[in-house]
Amino acid sequence: MTDYWPGRFDGQVALVTGAGAGMGEATARRFHQEGASVVLVDISGRQKDVAAELGKRAVPVQGDIASSADAANAVRTAVEEFGGLHIIANVAGLQEMPTPLDQLAEEEFDRMVDINLKGAFLFMKYGIPPIIESGGGAVVNVASVGALMGFTGLPAYSGAKGGIISLTRAAAVEYGQRGVRINSICPGTTLTPRLRFFFKDHPPEVLEAIVKGSILQRGADPAELASTIVFMASREASFITGANLVVDGGQTVLAPTFFQSG
Task: For residue 157, indicate whether it is catalytic.
Answer: yes
CB contact at 8 A, 43 and 65: yes
| Residue type (1 letter), 187 | P
What end-to-end distance do the CA atoms of the chain give, in Å?
Answer: 39
Short-list 84, 35, 222, CA closest to 142: 222
State the CB neighbour count (10 A cutoff) for residue 114.
Answer: 18
Q: Of the listed 4, 126, 157, 175, which one is catalytic?
A: 157
- Among 85, 89, 8, 74, residue whose Cα is nearest residue 41: 74
- Best CA proximity match to 247, nearest among 217, 224, 223: 224
Catalytic site positions: 157
